[in-house]
Structure 1
Amino acid sequence: MKITEIKELTSKEIVERLQSEKETLVRLRLNHAVSPLENTNKLRESKQTIARLNTVLRERELNENQN
C-alpha cells in the first residue's frame, strides 16, 4: 500500500488496516516458521506497510496537537 493511498484514508480506517496488517504479519511469520514461504518478500512488504500506517497516524497526531 502506497503512502498516497494511506493518506486518503480516515484515521479510523488506518487503525483498522493497521490491525489487519499486524494479524497478517503474525500469520505469515507462523507459516514461515512451519514451512518456508515461496516469496519471503511478503514479510518485508507487510512490515513496511505497518510502518507507513504508523507514520501517517503519528503525523496526524502531531498536527492535531499543534492546532
Structure 2
Amino acid sequence: MKARELKELDSKELQERLDTEVDNLAKMKINHSISPLDNPSQIKESRKTIARIKTELRLREINEVK
C-alpha cells in the first residue's frame, strides 16, 4: 500500500488496517518458522506497510495538536 493511498483513508480505517497488518505479520512469522513461505519478502513488505500506516497516524496526531 502506497503512502498516497493511506492519506485518502480516515484515521479509523487506518487503525483497522494497522491491526489487520499486525495480525497478518504475526501469522506470517509463525508460518515461516514452521515451514518456509513461498515468498519470504512478504514479511518485509508487511513491516514496511505497518511503518507507513504508523507514520501517517503519527503525522495526523501531530497536526491535530498544532
- Fold match, TM over 0.5? yes
Q: Percent identity?
A: 50
In the alignment, structure 2 segments of 5+ residues that lack a partner are none
How many residue pairs get aligned? The number is 66
- Tell me which residue corresponds to 2:20: 20
Q: TM-score, normalised by structure 2?
A: 0.99
Residue aligned with 1:54, SS: helix
- Tell me which residue corresponds to 1:52: 52
Q: Provide the rounded CA distance (Å) in 2 between the counterparts of 1:27 and 1:45.
A: 14
Shift of 1:34: 0.2
In the alignment, structure 1 segments of 5+ residues that lack a partner are none
Residue aligned with 1:17, SS: helix
Q: Provide the rounded CA distance (Å) in 1 between the counterparts of 2:6 and 2:41.
A: 20
Q: Provide the rounded CA distance (Å) in 2 between the counterparts of 1:38 and 1:20.
A: 21
Shift of 1:38: 1.3
Please give the root-mean-square deviation of Cα atoms over the aligned residues, in Å.
0.3
Q: TM-score, normalised by structure 1?
A: 0.97
